[in-house]
Chains A and B, each alone.
Chain A
Amino acid sequence: MREQRSRLPGRHSLFWKLAFLLVGFCLLMIGLSWYWGRYVETQNAYLTADARQVLNGYAAEAEQAWRAGGQRGVDRWLQEIRLQEQGWVGVIGHDLQSLSSVPLDDSQMQRLTFMRGVDWPMSRRQKTMPWLKIPFPDLPSAGSLVIELPERFKPGRYALVWQMLTSVVIPALFTLLLCVGLYRLLIRPLNQLREQANAWRADRLSNRLSAQMTSRQDELGELNRAFDHMASRLQSTVQIQQQLLRDLSHELRTPLSRLRVACDSEQSLPELRERLSREVEGMRRLVDDTLHLAWLDAEREKLPDEDIEVLALWDMLVDNACFESCWPSRQLVCDLDSQCWVRGHLNTLAQALENILRNAIRHSPPEGIVRLGGRRDGDDWLLWLEDQGGGVDDSDLERIFAPFIRLDGARPGDGGFGLGLSIARNSLRLQGGDLWAENTAHGLRMIMRLPAREVEAVV
C-alpha cells in the first residue's frame, strides 16, 4: 500500500485516459456539428438544377419575345407568363428600365436594387420571396428577366431533416459509441472482479485474477492487486486456521490420553495429583501458545513500539534461561555493546528472543556456547544467535518456522510443541522485523532484523 498519496493523479492514472477521451470527444463533436451545420445550410440555400433550368428557360423566352416583337412582344409574353407564375415578373433593359409598356413604380425600383443571381445562395432568413435577375442568355447586355422566386422553387425544404441529422442523430450515435468504449474500459474489469468474488462465495479460494489484470498500471490495476492480495491473505488465513485447529487437536490428544491412562492406573493420590497438575500445565501452555500464535497472525496493526537496549534485554533473558536450563551464564555470550538499541514492542520481542534462546540451548551440547552477535545494517540492526547444535538440513531451514513442526531429532514431550519459532517469526514481523535461519560450521544461526532506534542519542 502506498502510504502517502500525491494530490496529482499519477502518470498511469485512469484520470488522464478519461480526460483525453472526453475532452477529445467533446471537441470532435463540436467541430463536426458546426462544420456539417454550415455545409448543410449552404447546400440548402441554392436553387435546384430543375428550378434553374425552368428560370433560364423563361429568360430565353423573354429574349425571344423582345427580339421578335419588341415592347409589344414583351407585353404579350408577360401576359402569358403571368398566367403560370403568381409572383411579379418583368423584363428590364440594361438601363434598369422596363422593356414592357408598363413602367416600374417606386417600390419595384426599390426592390430591383436587391436582386440576386440565379446561382447565388438564397437566404432563408428573408421573409419575402427574393427577386431574381436573369440576363438574356444570348445577348446579356440587351436586357434581363426579373422574376420573384416562385414558391415551389424555394430551397431548403428539407433543412429541418438535415438539421436533425447533423445535430441530433449523428452526435447521439457517436456518444453511444463512446459509452460502449467507456463500458469496456471501466465496467468489464469490475465484472471480472465480481466473477472472482462469486468464485470465493463458492469456496474456490485458490482462484486468482489473471496476470493481465493485476499488471495494469492504473487505478483499476491497483484495485485488482489489492483484491488479489486480499484473496491470498484470506486463503492463507483459512489455511493456517484449519491447520492450527488440526494440529492443536492432535497435540491435545497426547496429554489427554496420558490422563486417561493415569485415571485407569492404580497410582496413589499424591502421584496422581502431581501428574494431573503437570498435564494441566502442559495443556494450558499449549492452548496459550496457540492462541498467541493465532492472535499474532490475525493482528495486522503494528504494535506500539519503544526503544529497547538489547544488552539489558539479553541480561534479563540470560537470567531466566540460566535458571531454566541450569546452564552457567558464561556459556551465553553477548558480543554487543551498549550502543545497540532497537525499536520494538518489549513483550513480544522478549518472547521471540527467549524462544530462540531456549531452542538454541535445547539443541546445544551441555558444554556448548550460545553467542549473540550483531551489526548495524542501514536503518536496521541485524542480530544473530549462534548455537553449536549441529544445525539442520538445508531443506529444513524454512520448515522449522511452521507451527507444530518438530524435526526428527527433537525429543517429543521435552516441553516444546514446535510453536516457539513460529511465534518468534510472527512477533518479529509484526514489529517490522524479520527472522530467518542459516547453517554455520558448528550449528544453526538465527538472524533477526530489527529497526534501529531512530535517534542515536548519547545514553
Chain B
Amino acid sequence: MNPAIIHRPSILAIEDDPVLGAFVHDSLGRCGFHVTWCQNGAEGLERAQREPFDVILMDILLPGMNGLDILSRLRRRHTMPIILMSALGAEADRITGFRNGADDYLPKPFSVDELRVRIEAILRRVELERRFHTPVAAAAAPRPDELRFDEGLCDVSFGRKAAQLTPSEYRLLETLWRNPEDVLSKPFLYQHVLQRGYAQHDRSLDMHISQIRRKLKAIGYEAHQVRTVWGKGYVLTEAEPDA
C-alpha cells in the first residue's frame, strides 16, 4: 500500500504463549512482514537492543521480565515504535503502558486484521514524520470556491467565514485533505493526529469528526465531506450530488 513499506518491515514479537505467538508469526509473515519471535522477556530485550526493528510487538505478562519493565528499559535509549498486547483490558494497564512510552495498546483477543491495521498505522506515521513536510497544495493558489488553510491560525475558512476549528480538528482535517478519496484508518488517525494509540471505547476522534462536519456545514462548505467508512475509518470525498 505504501511505497516505503516495500522493503519488508521487520517486527520483533515478544509473546510467551506458543499458540498465539506462532499465529502472530505466521499470519504477519503472510502479510509481508519479517517477524522475529522471542518467547522470553529478557531475551527479547537483548535482541531489541542489538538489532534495529521497525516495530516491537510485546505481551505484558512475560516470563523472565515484565513487558512494562522492558518498555521502560528500551525507552531510555530507543525510539522504535512499541505495541503492547495484553489480556488485561483494564483502563489502568493501558494508561501505565502509554505513560511508559508505548505507541499503542492492543487488548486480547484481537484479529489479525486489527493487528495489521495498527502496525501499518504506526509504520505510516513514522514514514510521514521522516518525510519532508509539504505545505497543503491548495494553499498555494486559493480558489474562491475552495477551503483556505491557515497554518498559523490553525483554522480553515470558506468565503469570508472562518470555521473556528480547534488545533486537533485542524490537524485532522488537514490530514484528510492531504489524502483525498483515501480511507484513513482510525488507528492511523489516532497515531498521526492525536498521537496516541486507538482504543475501542475512545470516542475523541469521532467527536472531532462530528465537530468538523458541523463547523464546515456552518460556514456553508459542501464541496467535500467527511464520510464514515464502517469498520475502517474516515475518508474525505467529493460530495455526492444527491446528498
Nearest-neighbour CB distance to chain B for A307, whole angstroms, equals 11
Per the bound structure, the CA–CA distance linking A309 and B212 in Å amounts to: 13
Known: A295-B91, A312-B210, A312-B211. A347 touches B228 (CB 8 A): no
Nearest-neighbour CB distance to chain A for B219, whole angstroms, equals 14
Known: A284-B109, A295-B91. A319 touches B210 (CB 8 A): yes
Tell me if A351 counts as interface (CB < 8 A to partner B). yes
Output the nearest chain B residue to A311 by Cβ-Cβ distance.
Answer: B214
Tell me if A183 counts as interface (CB < 8 A to partner B). no
Per the bound structure, the CA–CA distance linking A280 and B109 in Å amounts to: 9
Nearest-neighbour CB distance to chain B for A305, whole angstroms, equals 14
Q: Contact residue range for chain A?
A: 20 to 34
B211 contacts A309, CB within 8 Å? yes
Tell me if A315 counts as interface (CB < 8 A to partner B). yes
Nearest-neighbour CB distance to chain B for A126, whole angstroms, equals 86
Nearest-neighbour CB distance to chain A for B114, whole angstroms, equals 12
* Chain A interface mostly: helix
Contacts of A308 in B (CB 8 A): 207
Per the bound structure, the CA–CA distance linking A316 and B207 in Å amounts to: 6
Per the bound structure, the CA–CA distance linking A315 and B200 in Å amounts to: 19
Per the bound structure, the CA–CA distance linking A351 and B203 in Å amounts to: 9
Output the nearest chain B residue to A277 by Cβ-Cβ distance.
Answer: B111
Per the bound structure, the CA–CA distance linking A292 and B230 in Å amounts to: 24
Per the bound structure, the CA–CA distance linking A311 and B213 in Å amounts to: 12
B109 contacts A315, CB within 8 Å? no
- Which residue of B89, B200, B204, B207 contacts A291 across the interface (Cβ within 8 Å)? B89
Known: A312-B214, A323-B228. A288 touches B206 (CB 8 A): no
Per the bound structure, the CA–CA distance linking A316 and B202 in Å amounts to: 13
Contacts of A346 in B (CB 8 A): 203-204, 207
Tell me if A313 counts as interface (CB < 8 A to partner B). yes
Nearest-neighbour CB distance to chain B for A180, whole angstroms, equals 51
Tell me if B209 counts as interface (CB < 8 A to partner A). yes
Nearest-neighbour CB distance to chain A for B216, whole angstroms, equals 12
Nearest-neighbour CB distance to chain B for A274, whole angstroms, equals 14
Contacts of B213 in A (CB 8 A): 315
Tell me if A62 counts as interface (CB < 8 A to partner B). no
Per the bound structure, the CA–CA distance linking A309 and B213 in Å amounts to: 14
Contacts of A452 in B (CB 8 A): none
Contacts of A288 in B (CB 8 A): 89, 200
Please, could you name 5 A-B residue pairs with CB atoms under 8 Å apart, sorted by A? Answer: A292-B201, A308-B207, A316-B206, A347-B202, A350-B203
Q: Beyond the given A308-B207, A347-B202, could you list 19 further A-B residue pairs with CB under 8 A, ordered by the A residue number?
A: A280-B109, A284-B109, A291-B89, A292-B201, A295-B91, A309-B211, A312-B207, A312-B214, A315-B210, A315-B213, A316-B203, A316-B206, A319-B210, A323-B228, A323-B230, A346-B207, A347-B204, A350-B207, A351-B203
Chain B interfacial positions (CB closer than 8 Å to A): 89-91, 109, 200-204, 206-207, 209-211, 213-214, 228, 230
